[in-house]
Structure 1
Amino acid sequence: MPKYLKWLFTFGVVLVLQSMAYATDGYKLWLDYKTISDSTLLKEYQSLVGSVQAYGNSETIEKANRELHEGLSGLLGMNAKKLKGTYSIVIGTYQTLPKDIASQFSNGLENINEEGYVIKSLGNHIVITAKTDIGVLYGAFNFLKRLQTQRSIENLNITDSPKIDIRILNHWDNLDRSVERGYAGFSLWNWHQLPDYKDPRYEDYARANASIGINGTVLTNVNSNALVLTPQYLEKVKALADIFRPYGLKVYLTARFSAPMEIGGLQTADPLDANVKTWWKNKVEEIYTYIPDFGGFLVKANSEGQPGPQNYGRNHVDGANMMAEALAPFNGVVMWRAFVYSEHDATDRAKQAYNEFVPHDGQFKDNVIIQVKNGPIDFQPREPFHPMFGAMPNTNLMIEFQITQEYMGGATHLVYQPKLFEEVFEADTYQKGKGSTVAKVIDGSLHNKKITGVAGVSNIGTDRNWTGHHFLQANWYGFGRLAWDPYLNSEDIAKEWTRMTFSNKAKFVDKVADMMITSREAVVNYMTPLGLHHIMATGHHYGPGPWVGNLSRPEWNPVYYHKADSKGIGFDRTPSGSNATAQYAPEVAAMFNNLTSCPEKDLLWFHHVQWSYKLKNGHSLWNGMALKYQEGVNQVAQMQTTWNQLENDVDAQRFNEVKMMLNIQYKEAKWWKDACLLYFQQFSKMELPKGVEAPAHTLEYYQNLQFPYAPGIRPQW
């Protein structure tokens, strides 16, 4: 072969290998320890970082040691065992560190809790220590994050602890591996092959959660199946718990309230029945023989057809406390969901959870925590905060967010949800006067709660990149960060994730973070602007369906929520309507009740407003609403433009996959705009204002669209 052909062949092979090396499928998430590309910074880090010295012989310390070796080897481009920089990395608990190093922490780490950590520069050491092994692991991840995000590692003095006790993912995964409201493939848990075949992905899952401080996982759907509590499945659960344990990840299960009848042979599940109490006590004891650190139960009861204590004339206190008694000897907890509404109750659906739970404030046992959705309806693109957060000072409350995007386009729409989480945490309940934010309720600081918690409905599946859309990894990541500290800034988190996942180039980071922050408001604008809510299509909730009004239960119909008529649109929740505002503190209620003081982002949530009503920008309600829909479409178009400008800064695989997803989102944003405005125009009888693009099809066209196989549909129970 001629020399020039050999050269071309070799050059071609090198290009292919380089392409393979830089392309990524997203599997490694934010833990892709690529070698630092800035040669000057790389040399600086190499000169500073020395060997890793681990003290302690637990599995968790071994995981921390392995993580540091893997991370340093990747980031610094050389085997971590050969690093000879100025600072050796020393890890271990205060109790296991060498005495000369431990003596430098004379206060005994009194400023951190059991999961907290300290990272401190001491002479020629960087010490990562904690009270517990899991704290050391969290500290190791934090140190690696500093390198990933190219921050200084000199003169370190970092002290950090989680502000919330239970930081948990709720998997709505079924035993057949389908995932209710799942948009990223099947369930991770291969129940058929467990316990003998342990997919390596299980450990990767636990590791990713530990890296962001998530310490619990509910393996099964809240619409639960009692079979998971049988020995056949407990053996499988044990296999997962054993893998997760070194990463500080506790396993929880959903408990079907009727399990004593379905798998126990009893004739009743009455929580006050002695035989039922004994059955649950024995079942809990059995679970702990398999899983000694079992976290407890998550329960959905008397909601959407699920059995519960009300089947027997009892209340939520009776049901939750009965289970709590069984779990108490093992320090287990009951997370009892407050998502309840009944077809037999004609009350505004937004009021029903408050009505059922608030009268029982102070009656739940200390190991019960009531799990409350962030808003009073159901994970909408925007809702006001749930009034229960300002009304139960004597009850443990945890907040439930939906990371998976049931009402936000599934996994095809880029929606950065930490912006939503932050908005809710910052909301002021006025429970103890101004400054009584939801964050203070949830972290327990407002009322010194016994247990605190944050739950997120998982968006994880078997798709190679875990979440279906590369950018939706940021919602998993951001949830973990805000569960650890609900006072963090969502924009800072977006930049942090972007640096760890894509690039540290400042312009790239700023542009991507701006796009992410904008994305949440964009989806509100093109789906449910100005306080509209729950106008999605039936069942799968994919796409618009404001015209739906033929379902058997009123509160399942979008027309129930928007109440559009010839006069105007919106749900009157003031004293002249359902009076749902009375469930808030007087200061909050007064703000929402007044048409002029009600934030316009919540306007149609609380008021039925005339089409001609003048908004603060001078537009009529109709024109303003139409322009908001158009603004949402325009924002997605700008996201497309921004992303296309970044092609040279992203590997080809992820660039093209995100580009295709943004194309889908733009197409569907226009679909939302066109369908909703055509439908509501029937009532307003007004022309579209200047600046709003004419719909591409007729209203009849949109109403006739059918999606029988849309992903994430709820199975029949």
Structure 2
Amino acid sequence: MNRVRIWLGALSIPLMTVPLPASAEDGYALWLKPAASSVRQMKANRLGDSATLMLAERELRHALSPDAPPVVLATASSPSLKMLGLKFKGLGDEGYLIRSVTLDGRKVILVAGNSDRGALYGAFALIRHLNTGGPAESIDLRSSPKVKLRVLNHWDNLDGSVERGYAGQSLWDWWTLPDFRDPRYTDYARANASIGINGTVLNNVNAKADSLTAPYIAKAAALADIFRPWGIRVYLSVRFSAPIELGGLKTADPRDPAVAAWWRAKADEIYRAIPDFGGFLVKANSEGQPGPRDYGASHADGANMLAAAVRDHGGIVMWRAFVYAETDPEDRAKQAYSEFKPLDGKFADNVLVQVKNGAIDFQPREPFHPLFGAMPRTPLMIEFQITKEYLGFATHLAYLGPLFTEVLDARTGHRPGETVADVVDGKAEHHKLTGMAGVANIGRDRDWSGSTFNQANWYAFGRLAWDPDLSAEAIARAWAAQTFGPDRQVIDTVTTMMMGSREAVVDYTGALGLAHLMATGHHYGPGPWVSELARPEWNPVYYHRADAAGIGFDRTESGSNAVGQYAGPVARTFAKPGTTPESMLLWFHHLPWTYRVADGRSLWEDLVAHYDRGVAYVANMQKQWGGLRDKIDAERWQKTATYLAIQNREAQWWRDASLAYWMSVNHLPLPAGVRPPEHDLAWYKAQQYPHAPGQAH
């Protein structure tokens, strides 16, 4: 796929030789910088009085320089636009066009869409274009989202904690809602609208039935009222056993008429409070959550029953395909495909099956999920994790744009040239209901995401959900320019740091296709030695299979045959070590430590080199960031510098603990000149972190 380059006139931005005074920053403004203060305001008019158009006008006045050309906001139905002959066909409800026109005898920049939401997205697109160096002269931009539902999944609990959240407590203060409506709720909606996100699931997929009670529906309704003018719908995660827990029924069997009636009544209740409620997200029969299989019914039975409850209201159901058995599985990576592939075509037309980007669980690197392309009669909604559960929590700099695009660009093998993005946006299989979900990294921290650089992952998700063909590097450059300003050295340095940062985390946590090597429960730090947990697939040793002879999980025909779940060309590539990309080598193959990789090194030598490369990259990021000290405000510079120091220490910890363990298994010496681990294996095993943040509970 040829990725689309988005405008960032880096070469047109003058390199500043004299550092400008750095004003105090705390990260709250995200990428939405106000214009430099001026007595004059930029000229913006709107043709219409909707709340959304008013917000769009305010954004333009807030963000653009007074020297910017005058802007007119409108919708296609405005009589003033009739004489211009503009083509709004194909823009849908959310697309926009931005064009230099002559209107009522004066030259203006017109921002318009078929709806006021389109005009709002256009206003933010114009701000982005001009604030990243794009020209105002003869402007002619046109865009519409390729993905219909662009949704954040908040894993927020009703007690204010956030599962796998590393930016403090939940943004939602359920205790004071619906009465107190924190201004941050508006700022949250504004940030999402600026990058095209149009939906938010308010509560954890490990849902409590209480979220469906009248008091909590009222709380959700208050948030929906705040989000509505920004084009954002709210959704709720639901607990499948709610008819038992709340309704007093003896069963939650989706085939039972009383159960279906209970859900219809509950949906009616929600829609009375929230007329534009989006629908339900469901985690069922996974990690102890109840579901239809408890009653001998299928996932389709459960999803379709809920879909019928919201259908007349225009609602949808997002049914997660994250499942794995409670008994010893042949291969956990195969289970979602095995359960869902036979159900293709059996889901209602207002159901999306929500599939994680990889077959296990948001690892630093996984091959794309084999379900993409394998269920042509079912809309599949891809699920990414924006929060960094396995990539160093909030303190490690790991830009996820390359992770997202690596998956989206992957060829499925089902049709010539077909990519995962083609499946997700409906191009491949002509689905109109499409979606992309991201597990949010947002909390109550002042900087929203735990660090400035974590904001880039929220930003990148939104931009790619709008257009999966965008370039991760171009997105990084645009984010850097909007976040830190137009200094060319800052933009270049920050972009360079970001683009290799995720690969560095892969290197120092487990390269060559290794995965699931983290410590137990909190998932903080290394634990490749863990082997005593109750279920085999909870243990890291289950995934790496390391012994004196070799390392890696055999997923070929001689092993679990997970390669057989991929389409022919892809399966053939993964079937042999020589054709498998080295980045996925040990995901699909158990190989001797002496196996020779492409550069001639042994597998052991190459693995050690990856650990050292990852640690070195972090040290280099520290130097690069240090060179920007006079160009970044002190508060954000210092916090990032401190976090990079933490990352450096923890990258070395990952490296040393992992090498100490591998050496205890393979009994091999380190290559000549390689620094040995700082401590022995027993020391690393003894480390305990019972209060690490973000643990499930």
Tell me the TM-score normalized by structure 1: 0.92
Aligned with residue 668 of structure 2, among 674, 686, 690: 686
Q: Tell me, yes or no, if structure 1 residue 529 matches structure 2 residue 511.
A: yes
Q: Does the CA contact (< 8 Å) of 2:608 and 2:659 recur in 1?
A: yes
Q: Tell me, yes or no, if structure 1 residue 35 matches structure 2 residue 36.
A: yes
Q: Which residue of 2 aligns with 1:204?
A: 187
Aligned with residue 538 of structure 2, among 556, 578, 592: 556
Q: Does the CA contact (< 8 Å) of 2:399 and 2:454 recur in 1?
A: yes
Q: Tell me, yes or no, if structure 1 residue 117 matches structure 2 residue 96.
A: yes
Residue correspondence of structure 1 range 35-184 to structure 2 within 5 A? 35=36, 51-72=43-64, 75-76=65-66, 87-96=69-78, 98-99=79-80, 101-107=81-87, 109-123=88-102, 124-184=107-167
Q: Does the CA contact (< 8 Å) of 2:42 and 2:70 recur in 1?
A: yes
- Per-residue deviation, 1:34: 4.5
Q: Which residue of 2 aligns with 1:39?
A: none
Q: What letter corresponds to residue 632 of structure 1 in structure 2? A: G
Q: Does the CA contact (< 8 Å) of 1:568 and 1:683 recur in 2?
A: no
Q: Distance in 2 between matches of 1:692 and 1:710?
A: 31
Q: What letter corresponds to residue 207 of structure 1 in structure 2? A: R
Q: Distance in 2 between matches of 1:384 and 1:306?
A: 26
- Per-residue deviation, 1:50: 5.3
The CA deviation string for residues 430-468 of structure 1, in whole angstroms up to 9 with x for no partner, is 1112x1100000000001013100000000000000000
Q: Which residue of 2 aligns with 1:253?
A: 236
Q: Which residue of 2 aligns with 1:589?
A: 571
- Per-residue deviation, 1:691: 4.7
- Per-residue deviation, 1:106: 4.3
Instruction: Report the identity percentage.
Output: 55
Partner of 1:253, secondary structure, is: strand
Residue correspondence of structure 1 range 4-15 to structure 2 within 5 A? none
Q: Distance in 1 between matches of 2:180 and 2:50?
A: 24
Q: Which runs of 5+ in 2 are unaligned?
A: 1-19
The CA deviation string for residues 33-87 of structure 1, in whole angstroms up to 9 with x for no partner, is 2429xxxxx99xx9xx952111111110111111111113xx44xxxxxx7x7x4
Q: Distance in 2 between matches of 1:113 and 1:521?
A: 37
Aligned with residue 594 of structure 2, among 596, 608, 612: 612
- Per-residue deviation, 1:103: 2.1
Aligned with residue 565 of structure 1, among 523, 547, 556: 547
- Per-residue deviation, 1:277: 0.5
The CA deviation string for residues 406-441 of structure 1, in whole angstroms up to 9 with x for no partner, is 1111101000001100000000001112x1100000
Q: Which residue of 2 aligns with 1:514?
A: 496
Residue correspondence of structure 1 range 361-372 to structure 2 within 5 A? 361-372=344-355
The CA deviation string for residues 587-635 of structure 1, in whole angstroms up to 9 with x for no partner, is 1011001110010000000000100011111110001101100100001
Q: Tell me, yes or no, if structure 1 residue 237 matches structure 2 residue 234.
A: no
The CA deviation string for residues 106-158 of structure 1, in whole angstroms up to 9 with x for no partner, is 43x01312100000101311100000010000000111112221220110111
- Per-residue deviation, 1:329: 0.4
Q: What letter corresponds to residue 114 of structure 1 in structure 2? A: D
Partner of 1:660, secondary structure, is: helix
Q: Does the CA contact (< 8 Å) of 1:33 and 1:148 recur in 2?
A: no
- Per-residue deviation, 1:684: 1.9
Q: Tell me, yes or no, if structure 1 residue 481 matches structure 2 residue 481.
A: no
Q: Which residue of 2 aligns with 1:492?
A: 474
Q: What letter corresponds to residue 371 of structure 1 in structure 2? A: Q
Pairwise CA RMSD: 1.5
Q: What letter corresponds to residue 96 of structure 2 in structure 1? A: Y
Judged with a 3 Å threshold, the aligned counterparts in structure 2 of structure 1 residues 354 and 499 are, in CA distance, closer, same or farther, namely same
Q: Which residue of 2 aligns with 1:193?
A: 176
Q: Does the CA contact (< 8 Å) of 2:551 and 2:592 recur in 1?
A: yes
Q: Distance in 2 between matches of 1:691 and 1:157?
A: 58
Q: Does the CA contact (< 8 Å) of 2:550 and 2:591 recur in 1?
A: yes
Q: What letter corresponds to residue 689 of structure 1 in structure 2? A: P
Q: What letter corresponds to residue 206 of structure 1 in structure 2? A: A
The CA deviation string for residues 5-38 of structure 1, in whole angstroms up to 9 with x for no partner, is xxxxxxxxxxxxx97x7010000100022429xx
Residue correspondence of structure 1 range 283-294 to structure 2 within 5 A? 283-294=266-277
- Per-residue deviation, 1:105: 3.1
Q: Which residue of 2 aligns with 1:10?
A: none
- Per-residue deviation, 1:509: 0.9
Q: What letter corresponds to residue 152 of structure 2 in structure 1? A: L
The CA deviation string for residues 163-202 of structure 1, in whole angstroms up to 9 with x for no partner, is 0000000000000000000100000000110011000000
Q: Which residue of 1 aligns with 2:299?
A: 316
Q: Distance in 1 between matches of 2:517 and 2:220?
A: 38
Residue correspondence of structure 1 range 406-485 to structure 2 within 5 A? 406-433=389-416, 435-485=417-467
Q: Which residue of 2 aligns with 1:11?
A: none
Q: Distance in 1 between matches of 2:667 and 2:658?
A: 14
The CA deviation string for residues 309-346 of structure 1, in whole angstroms up to 9 with x for no partner, is 01111010100000001111011000000000012252
Q: What letter corresponds to residue 662 of structure 1 in structure 2? A: L
Aligned with residue 356 of structure 1, among 315, 333, 339: 339
Residue correspondence of structure 1 range 666-685 to structure 2 within 5 A? 666-685=648-667
Partner of 2:695, secondary structure, is: coil
Q: Distance in 2 between matches of 1:257 and 1:691?
A: 57
Judged with a 3 Å threshold, the aligned counterparts in structure 2 of structure 1 residues 691 and 159 are, in CA distance, closer, same or farther, namely farther
Q: What letter corresponds to residue 140 of structure 2 in structure 1? A: N
Q: Does the CA contact (< 8 Å) of 2:518 and 2:528 recur in 1?
A: yes
The structure that has the greater radius of gyration is 1
Q: Which residue of 2 aligns with 1:7?
A: none
Q: Does the CA contact (< 8 Å) of 2:112 and 2:122 recur in 1?
A: yes
Judged with a 3 Å threshold, the aligned counterparts in structure 2 of structure 1 residues 557 and 93 are, in CA distance, closer, same or farther, namely same
Q: What letter corresponds to residue 655 of structure 1 in structure 2? A: W
Residue correspondence of structure 1 range 254-269 to structure 2 within 5 A? 254-269=237-252
Q: Tell me, yes or no, if structure 1 residue 394 matches structure 2 residue 373.
A: no
Partner of 1:513, secondary structure, is: helix
Q: What letter corresponds to residue 148 of structure 1 in structure 2? A: N
Q: Does the CA contact (< 8 Å) of 1:627 and 1:691 recur in 2?
A: no
Q: Distance in 1 between matches of 2:245 and 2:47?
A: 49
Q: Does the CA contact (< 8 Å) of 1:223 and 1:306 recur in 2?
A: yes
Q: What letter corresponds to residue 100 of structure 2 in structure 1? A: S
Q: Does the CA contact (< 8 Å) of 2:163 and 2:696 recur in 1?
A: yes
Q: What letter corresponds to residue 390 of structure 2 in structure 1? A: Y
Per residue, is there more helix in 1 or in 2?
1
Q: Does the CA contact (< 8 Å) of 2:397 and 2:644 recur in 1?
A: yes
Query: Quick check: 284-293 or 343-352, which moved more?
Result: 343-352
Q: Distance in 2 between matches of 1:632 and 1:95?
A: 55
Q: Does the CA contact (< 8 Å) of 1:218 and 1:251 recur in 2?
A: yes
Aligned with residue 337 of structure 1, among 300, 313, 320: 320
Partner of 2:84, secondary structure, is: coil
Partner of 2:70, secondary structure, is: strand
- Per-residue deviation, 1:690: 3.3
- Per-residue deviation, 1:698: 1.1
Q: With CA pairs under 8 Å and 6+ residues apart, which has the higher RCO, 1 or 2?
A: 2
The CA deviation string for residues 358-414 of structure 1, in whole angstroms up to 9 with x for no partner, is 001011010000000000000000000000002101101010000001111110100
Q: Distance in 2 between matches of 1:136 and 1:102?
A: 17
Q: Distance in 2 between matches of 1:467 and 1:201?
A: 13
The CA deviation string for residues 198-242 of structure 1, in whole angstroms up to 9 with x for no partner, is 000000000000000000000000000111111111111100000
